[in-house]
Structure 1
């Protein structure tokens, strides 16, 4: 019964001797971390590392859209609660080829995430992406099985690629 278990546990604990220490600086603190907490922590770290491996890479090629990549990677790194300093320390793992060489050659200048964001866009932005976005906007129609939300989000991405300062009235006119 529960009463007998409590009684047995009380007897077991009552024979434990507690040693008196006269010098408090010699006391060692015992931190109890339940195994479930440790396992949860490990699971979260595993999930985060697996998700980070799947994040988009950027190589600096002409057919790659640096603005879209930067937006996507920033959003993903924000989801895993990385601050700007941490984002800057891991960003090289998401850079390939020319973009990685550019970053390596400019590391001394790139001391903050905001500087990185500005400089990578200046270096790898291409008017080709704006031209493609303009053509896509002109030809884009909502598909029969496409949700309004998907169509809207796709168009908003194209508008931002075409012109980040485009006013809302012009966007609505295209929709």
Structure 2
């Protein structure tokens, strides 16, 4: 008799011979995350994606999101007014930090472009996607099922789980 997800939210791989025995959450299919709700894992990823868009003033830590314009940012906080580079997030003075953005020869020592060659929405989409990948990787997700047949040398006691409720084990790479 199968236990409900609410009664037993964990899946335990029965392949102890192959050295598996991994425990994963039946709700979100991630590694066992203890008492932390599945939503907490999703929230962590979403927060990382949001943080990828936000820049902090290096002087006062006020948050900014660039909507348009050049990469020289000026803090709007009345007591700060620091200028910083949107790309490398460092405090800058005047325009010496920036290249001409393709409008002529670069200045000696210029580090970042004044204007981006790539549209801002594309740049933001790439930054958000990279943050999502980093956050999901940091949480060690379990990959989904493979189309490859199970390894013949590994035997599972899948008879314990009804055929329509089989779970994927990433370590032994079997159902």
User: Which protein, 1 or 2, shows the higher relative CO under an 8 Å CA cutoff with sep ≥ 6?
Assistant: 2
Normalization by structure 2: what TM-score?
0.23
Structure holding more strand per residue:
2
TM-score by length of 1: 0.23
Higher share in helix? 1
Larger Rg: 1
